[in-house]
Structure 1
Amino acid sequence: MLAYRHAFHAGNHADVLKHLVLTQVLRYMVSKDKPLRYIDTHAGAGSYLLKGKDAQKKAEYREGIGRLWSRPDLPPALADYVQLVQSFNLQPDENGVVPELEKGMTPPLALYPGSPSIASMLLRKTDTMRLYELHPSDVRTLATHFGHERRTNIIGGDGFAGLKAELPPSPRRAVVLMDPSYETVGDYGKVVAAMRDAVTRFAEGVYIVWYPQVSRVEAVQLPKRLMALAPKGWLHVSLTANKADGHGFGLMGSGMFVINPPYTLHNTLATEMPVLLEALAQFDEASYRIEEQPA
Structure 2
Amino acid sequence: MNYRHAFHAGNFADCMKHALLVWLLRALAAKEKPFRVLDTHAGIGSYDLSEASEAERTGEWRRGIGRLLSVEDGPLADYVALVHAAGAQARYPGSPALVAGLLRPQDHLLACELHPDDAATLRAAFRRDPQVAVHHRDGWEALKALTPFPEKRGLVLVDPPFEREGEFERLAQGIALVSRRFRGAVQACWYPIKHRAPVRAFHTALQESGVRDLVAAEFWLREPTDPQRLNGCGLLVANPPWRFEAEGGAILAALLEKLGDGEPGQGWAMTRIAEE
* Aligned with residue 137 of structure 1, among 117, 120, 124: 117
2:57 pairs with 1:57 = yes
Note the C-alpha offset of 1:63: 0.6
Equivalences for residues 30-109 of structure 1 within 5 A: 30-51=29-50, 52-72=52-72, 74-75=73-74, 77-89=75-87, 109=89
Q: Does the aligned pair in 2 maintain the 1:29–1:36 contact within 8 Å?
A: yes
Partners of 2:207 and 2:90 in 1: CA distance: 38
Distance between the aligned counterparts of 2:126 and 2:201, measured in 1?
36
Q: How far apart, CA to CA, are the structure 1 residues paired with 2:210 and 2:91?
A: 36
1:115-169 C-alpha deviation (Å, 9 max, x unpaired): 0111011111111111110011111111121121112111101010111111221
Alpha-carbon separation, structure 1, partners of 2:35 and 2:175: 19
After TM superposition, the structure 1 stretch with the greater mean CA deviation from structure 2, 33-42 or 279-288, is 279-288
Amino acid at match of 1:64: G
What does residue 19 of structure 1 align with? Answer: 18
* 1:228 Cα deviation after fit: 4.2
Contact map agreement 2:196 2:224 (CA 8 A) in 1: no
Is 1:263 the counterpart of 2:229? The answer is no
For residues 244 and 203 of structure 1, the distance between their equivalents in structure 2, rounded to whole angstroms, comes to 32
Structure 1 residue 193: deviation in Å? Answer: 1.5
Q: Report if the CA contact (8 A) 2:10-2:64 is conserved.
A: yes
Opposite residue 264 of structure 1, the aligned amino acid is R
User: Do structure 1's residue 164 and structure 2's residue 163 form an aligned pair?
Assistant: no
CA distance in 2, matches of 1:228, 1:205: 20
Q: Give RMSD over aligned pairs.
A: 1.9
Q: Is the 8 A contact 1:185 1:218 kept in 2?
A: no
Residue matched to 2:251: 272
The equivalent residue for 1:96 is none
> How far apart in 1 are the matches of 2:216 and 2:77?
22
Note if contact 1:88-1:112 (Cα within 8 Å) is conserved in structure 2.
yes
Tell me if structure 2 keeps the 8 A contact 1:230–1:259: no
Aligned partners of 2:232, 2:24: CA distance in 1, in Å?
21
Change (3 A) 1:249 1:263: same
Query: 1:223 touches 1:257 (CA, 8 Å); kept in 2?
Result: no
The question of whether the paired residues in 1 share the 8 Å contact of 2:63 and 2:259 is answered with: yes
Aligned in 2, Cα 1:218/1:294: closer, same or farther, shift over 3 Å?
A: closer
TM-score, normalization by structure 2: 0.93
Unaligned runs of 5+ in 2: none
Letter in 1 for 2:237: V
TM-score of the pair, normalised by structure 1: 0.87
The change in CA–CA distance for 1:34 and 1:9 in structure 2 (over 3 A counts) is same
Q: Kindly tell me: are residues 230 and 290 of structure 1, through their superposed partners in 2, closer, same or farther at Cα, counting changes over 3 Å?
A: farther
> Aligned equivalents of 1:158 and 1:257: distance in 2?
21
User: In the TM superposition, what whole-angstrom CA distance separates every residue of 1:77-107 from its partner, at most 9, and x where no partner exists?
Assistant: 3011000000111xxxxxxxxxxxxxxxxxx
Instruction: State the structure with more CA Rg.
Output: 1
Q: CA deviation at 1:275?
A: 2.1
Task: Compare 252-261 and 267-276 and name the one that shifted more.
Answer: 267-276
Q: Percent identity?
A: 35
Compare 111-120 and 283-292 and name the one that shifted more.
283-292
Asked whether the equivalents of residues 179 and 211 of structure 2 are also in contact (C-alpha less than 8 Å), the reply is no
Q: Which moved more, 1:16-25 or 1:278-287?
A: 278-287
Alignment-derived partner of residue 110 in structure 1 = 90
Whether the 8 Å contact between 2:19 and 2:251 is mirrored in structure 1 is: no
Residues 242, 281 of structure 1: 8 Å contact kept: no
User: Quick check: 21-30 or 248-257, which moved more?
Assistant: 248-257
Q: Which runs of 5+ in 1 are unaligned?
A: 90-107
Which structure 2 residues correspond to residues 121-270 of structure 1 after superposition, within 5 A? 121-215=101-195, 217-229=197-209, 231-242=211-222, 248-270=227-249
**C-alpha separation in 2, matches of 1:228 and 1:177:** 22
Q: Distance in 2 between matches of 1:84 and 1:10?
A: 15
